[in-house]
Amino acid sequence: MLVQIIGVGKLKEKYLVQGIAEYAKRLAPYLKFQVIEVADEKAPDTLSDAEVGIVKGKEGERILAQIKPDAHVVALSLDGALWSSEDLARELDRLGTYGSSHVVFVIGGSHGLSDEVLRRAQQKLCFGRMTLPHQLMRLVLVEQIYRAVKINRGEPYHK
């Protein structure tokens, strides 16, 4: 199985880069894992709704260019389904067995995801009502993917 995370923007914080690298190393015996970074659109801090739409559209084009046609896409979105770690484990197991062996999780930039990316997604996932920095969300997501793999294999880690 190939699991990818596509995220907008380059991670600069060393602790986040190191954390993701650690979980990627832990995932290596179980599946192929990649993080793909697409450039964020440079924009001033205050934007009109129309300008936000333009920014999301440009970032969305970059995201969609990285997604293969056969990939199952899960978009992280505030209006997505709330899954437990066990739900994520079941879904990855189901996809690997009966669906697609290529799963892409998409994390938007500071303004979210474009409508085009959301339409491409087969599923939308929400990690809760709290706002988290999109850079930190990458680390949280990769940890949850690792936890799901361990749950599915019945191996210690999940508590």
116 neighbors 64 (Cβ within 8 angstroms): yes
What is the predicted pLDDT for the residue at 159?
A: 55
What is the predicted pLDDT for the residue at 140?
A: 97
By mean pLDDT, which of 2-6, 23-27, 40-44 is the weakest?
40-44
What is the predicted pLDDT for the residue at 158?
A: 59
Q: Tell me the average pLDDT across 134-159.
A: 91
What is the predicted pLDDT for the residue at 133?
A: 86
User: b/e string for 30-53 if b means 16 or more Cβ within 10 A?
Assistant: bbebebeebebbeeeeeeeeeeee
pTM of the model: 0.94
Distance CA 37, CA 26 (A): 20
Burial class (CB in 10 A: 0-12, 13-18, 19+), 107: buried
**C-alpha dihedral over 24, 116, 38, 113, to 10 degrees?**
-70
